[in-house]
Structure 1
Amino acid sequence: MFTLNDDERVITETAAAFAAKRLAPHALEWDATKHFATDVLRESAELGMAAIYCREDVGGSGLRRLDGVRIFEQLAIADPTTAAFLSIHNMCAWMIDKFGTAEQRKAWVPRLASMDVIASYCLTEPGAGSDASALSTRAVREGGDYVLDGVKQFISGAGASDVYVVMARTGGPENPGPRGISAFVVEKGSAGLSFGALEEKMGWHAQPTAQVIFDGVRVPADAMLGGADGEGTGFGIAMNGLNGGRLNIAACSLGGAQSAFDKAAAYVREREAFGKALLDEPTIRFTLADMATGLETSRMMLWRAADALDNDDPDKVALCAMAKRYVTDTCFEVADKALQLHGGYGYLREYGLEKIVRDLRVHRILEGTNEIMRVVIGRAEAARARAGA
């Protein structure tokens, strides 16, 4: 797992080369102008990065989660924001490939793989964040259709994406929790579908975030993910998607932090104070040692969790939560230390450090807050203790 074979090396190097050529030179400009680079995203699709772990019979790349986290790390070294959005698109594509009917897979995955259509994930609501099963968006059956009403909050790609994977409540009062939730594929341009104003965010400036509003949006019954058998399975689909999503966002944190570390190491090598290079100061070396250790342990934990997800390990959910919690916390600290090592220069936009810090901060919140990750891990450990394991 820890020594890449030739195929794995090619995959990683391809992602790194694309990121260095097409993302890195533009990342600061995109951040400053709030430009969503869909043209560059589509270029990544030409290299197989838009449906990384979807099956090949519908145009996916057929790779593993382990390959995916390596790809997203390399992309995020150049730009965590663009890498993170691509990870969300991949999550949506995988959900349709994994849980969709044969017809849904054939209709959507090839276009998602090419990014002829771009996807967004719609779970969070104004009144249902960490408690996602309390969502109130409803989908009511009317003849051969479902009619959706409700609001989704903090949706990446809102208004720009072409298709939305939406979790909505189809169950009645007898199914008030997760069992009453189903997933739908809703196309942009559907009557009654609209979007809120763009959110003014701390980071992630190079991708749009807004509400997605459903006001009597009518979709055919076959838009339910999984077809007729998909009713009531939406919450499980959403949680399965988030297992991989948590790994991917952790990989984006790792890539961003690696970039920050590299910048800091280069800076202290060249910068002098009190008559000697900062690199020769023991306290600076201690800081670099802690940062390097954090990066290495993050990478090990991330790869371990990705391997567990690939192999359907019984502990995969807890391991994904551990990786998401540890890597996003640790890598944010690495990025913050890198900024500190730059002194006042780290606070300037042109050096790129403050952007990395701003971008990585949200990774500790989305795909399940790190507090919720502790809940997930604690629940698993409590179950293990009760079983005497």
Structure 2
Amino acid sequence: MGWIPCSGSSNTKKKLKKRLEKMEVQNSLVDPIKTTPGKLKRNSSMNSKDSTKNGNPDHIAAQTFSFRELATATRNFRAECLLGEGGFGRVYKGRLENINQIVAIKQLDRNGLQGNREFLVEVLMLSLLHHPNLVNLIGYCADGDQRLLVYEFMSLGSLEDHLHDISPGKKQLDWNTRMKIAAGAARGLEYLHDKANPPVIYRDLKCSNILLGEGYHPKLSDFGLAKLGPVGENTHVSTRVMGTYGYCAPEYAMTGQLTLKSDVYSFGVVLLEMITGRKAIDNSRSAGEQNLVAWARPLFKDRRKFSQMADPMLQGQYPSRGLYQALAVAAMCVQEQANMRPVIADVVTALSYLASQKYDPNTQTVQSSRLAPGTPPRTKRG
């Protein structure tokens, strides 16, 4: 549930955590957004290079919108503007006339699974965390009992749209694009784990929450379930189990103990989906194949079966060595013991390497395939 940029003392972290706990209690009783129009105030206890010299921090440039503005932008939330629907509510495509920008507008379903607390968390987090692989929040609406979030429009939809819900005529994701998306999503997660201070546990990593922009550039979205990670000598944070079945790490699902490695497990499931084309949970399959991780674990032990795990939609157009390496990364991420999983920075290193090795289906070769993962290519001397 954190949203803190990269600097901050331990005293700052304690103050911030108390403030967050207080907000969780108050949030069900009061309007969660009480700020000046167009701005969100930064916590005065936070250290930031943007703070003014007299100690008063500046404001966060998250715009506020009236409900009427957003109704106009979506033509009164017409069905043809509907992009999709999730736990938060419906998402519409709209145009903000005053700035002539296409946006995505997410409207809270007052009877839905998520509520005011998740709305507040998302506004605060995305107002203060910024990275090329995190979706950009433009603003919000908190008119009366209306709760809406306004994001940049991601023209290619979600990763799920391209892996599992493929519409007729839509281009299949090739191997190079899959590795590019995987590496970018991992970098977004690395920012939350390693650059934010206190670290942020995303807690809801899945294909439908990875949005794609032009050139299949991935961005993590939907931060309503995010939590501040453990700080100091703490090894985990305890919380009620939330997330999506099939993506939750086993130790979190059983004990409610949440760590950064819980996110790594979820990422491993997503990576497996990208490699195999299978869903995390697919009840249409036979009993032994409904759970993706349970199906994959015995196959990880026999390298001769790796080719059986490749998505049939790839039609054999992938590098054998790249497939083995990608499956090895996924296997490490979904290990049952959390301490056996890699940190996300190591995952980024491995996937960035794989994404850099462009597969050419015409020549059936991988460029620089002699190099080991993580080995930088040598530059030629003049």
* TM-score using structure 1 length: 0.27
Name the structure with the higher helix share: 1
Question: Whose RCO is larger (CA < 8 A, sep 6+)?
Answer: 1
Normalising by structure 2, what TM-score? 0.27
